[in-house]
Amino acid sequence: MSGHEGPSGAAEWFDSPLGQYLLQREQSYFDHVVAHVFGFNALQLGLPGVDLLRASRIPLRARVCRTPAGTLRADFRDLPVASNSADLVLLPHTLEYTGSPHEILREVARVLLPEGQAVIAGFNPWSLWGARRAFGSRRRYPWNGRFIALPRLKDWLALLGLEIAGGRMDCYVLPCATRKWLGRMAFLDAAGDRWWPIAGGVYFLQAVKRVRGMRIIMPKWTDRLVPAKSLAAAPKKVREHGDVVTARHGASGDR
């Protein structure tokens, strides 16, 4: 598939059998995830030639890119998007091909609404794909990227208030170049989650922006907490002489 604007050599690689295999697996995952996220605004940062938001029900969907190939041209580190306005942000292999992944994640956390979601796809350095990069040539895409280990990425997300809500590993086959060998090793994808779940060539993460609130608990005042008033008996005021005599006779009779 042509039109995959991105890092140098990305378009050619995605047209290869291995690139097509990866794209098919990732498209299936994104289709499933975005269909269950609701809201008004969704962004895809990178790979504008692939519509990873095609299954989304969100009305406003924009593919952001540094070139005119996207629907919105912008730098991922400085998005022309209001804070707390996006319900969903996709990052398909966006962090591996930049010198400032922290800045991009910080910008994603800024534009996301509380409870908004970020979905990330990244190459796993602890896999056969990572071994291919470590021991092979790093001059071509995708091996020229900086693969980010999953625990490190989780730490970065936690610092930004993005809580992991889901994810999985995928692409367990050897990163070979021919369609024939990819077909022969297709059984590895079915067995990968069971036998070597941390060795997938690609990982997916779903993160939710959490905003911790503070609730002020006011004391509940009731009448039971107010002490009852004790009333003292008041002496009767005598105004005339006759009243005094009557009072004295009454006191004598009591005795």
For residue 3, pLDDT over 60 is answered with no
Spell out the residues 6+ positions from residue 53 whose beta carbon is closer than 8 angstroms to its own: 30, 34, 42, 44, 61, 63, 88, 90
| pTM, to two decimals | 0.78
Domains of the chain, residue spans: 10-209
**pLDDT of 189:** 75
93-117 mean pLDDT: 96
Cα–Cα distances in Å, from 203 out to 15, 168, 199, 235?
A: 21, 6, 9, 91
CATH of domain 10-209: 3.40.50.150
What is the C-alpha separation between 253 and 66, in angstroms, rounded?
111
Average of per-residue pLDDT values in the chain: 84
Q: Which of 33-42, 69-78, 170-179 has the lowest mean pLDDT?
A: 170-179
Structure-model confidence comparison of residues 52 and 199, the more confident one: 52
154 within 8 A of 105, measured Cβ to Cβ: no
pLDDT-derived band at 245 (thresholds 50, 70, 90) equals low
53-78 mean pLDDT: 92
99-124 mean pLDDT: 96
